[in-house]
A = this chain, B = another copy of it.
Amino acid sequence: MTKKLRELVVDETFEMFVLLKNADVRLARNGKKFIAFTFQDTSGTVDGKYWGASDEEIELFTSGKVVFLNGKRELYQNMPQIKILHLRVTNEGEPSEPTLYMEKAPVKIEELQEELNRFLFDINHAKWQRVVRFLLNKYQKEFFDFPAAKRNHHAFAGGLAYHTVTMLRLAKAVCEQYSQVNPSLLYAGIILHDLGKVRELSGALSTEYTLSGNLLGHIVMIDEEITKACQELTINDTDEDIIILKHVILAHHGLLEYGSPVRPKIMEAEILHQLDNLDASIQMMLGALKQVNPGEYTERIFGLDNRNFYLPKI
């Protein structure tokens, strides 16, 4: 059986179907155009440059397409790289569906749905549960399809739901340890905290920020969604319990300079923020560490203050 992209060793030649995750046209210093590709399959991504691209090829090989690639795995400044020997678009009958090649959440959607449902049952506060269910229904498809971010952490299809569920599990451990923490509030807040991203981002494939993502941001948009949900459910959104639910979500970036309009002023808001941070940090570190061998350092991770991490030999 054929190897995947990140399984190739240096100098190995290969043929395989891959997704063009990015295809940027640039000008070489000799005045000719080339395409800077990022090839992707479920094992990850590798870059490769296509020199002297014709205008037809530029039109043909665009971001989001599946292609058949004949190449050689090389090493360039300690980073894996593909030398392109030949490239063609897929023929009829060949596996050309982009989602076949995209990274996925490490858990199946069905399992995530099931696990999420069990947490929904644990939201004992009626209004919160109604709001959460209403919004999960409204954005069900996107919730299980979207990444949790354009890049950085959980930037893969299903990342939003996966991140939500792993946070819920950590939250459960906190609630078991500290009986004073309100699980209903914490769970409801976690489930909704990043749901505004379904309006902030364009989707799972070639993810971009939308206009409202740029000008309003996902934090404000989920607040608007709760406001509208309350109107449809005829819940008074100036009741203390709704104010508190909104606060827990608005404050989840922790600091004003990270885009929350208020800092956490309720215990569950502070906990939600810290768990979000912890889960995203672990995911970013795991993503970088799986690219290196024991005894090596990772690339610098933008979302962790540009630190690089060491993978111990032990």
Contacts and interface: CB of A to CB of B under 8 A. Distances in A.
Given A216-B250, A259-B262, A282-B174, A243 B166 contact: no
A215 B249 CA distance: 11
Interface string A66-82: 00000000001100010
B27 A28 contact: no
Interface stretch (A12-20, A90-98, A267-275): A267-275
Contacts of A166: 177
Contact of A274 (B266, B278, B307): B278
- Identical copies in the complex: 6
Nearest to A199: B238
A227 interface: yes
Interface stretch (A38-46, A137-145, A150-158, A218-226): A218-226
Interface residues of A, number: 83
A309 to B, nearest CB: 6
A217 interface: yes
Given A177-B170, A261-B260, A314 B241 contact: yes
Contacts of A217: 261-262
Nearest to A271: B282
A268 to B, nearest CB: 9
Interface in A151-191: 166, 169-170, 172-174, 177-178, 180-182, 185
A9 interface: no
Interface in A19-43: 24-31, 34
Interface of A: 24-31, 34, 49, 51, 76-77, 81, 83, 125, 166, 169-170, 172-174, 177-178, 180-182, 185, 199, 211-212, 214-217, 219-220, 223-224, 227-228, 231, 237-238, 240-241, 243-244, 246-247, 250, 256-267, 270-271, 274-275, 277-278, 281-282, 285-286, 289, 304-305, 307-310, 312-314
13 contacts: A26-B76, A180-B286, A180-B289, A185-B312, A211-B243, A211-B310, A214-B262, A215-B250, A216-B243, A223-B224, A264-B309, A266-B312, A271-B278
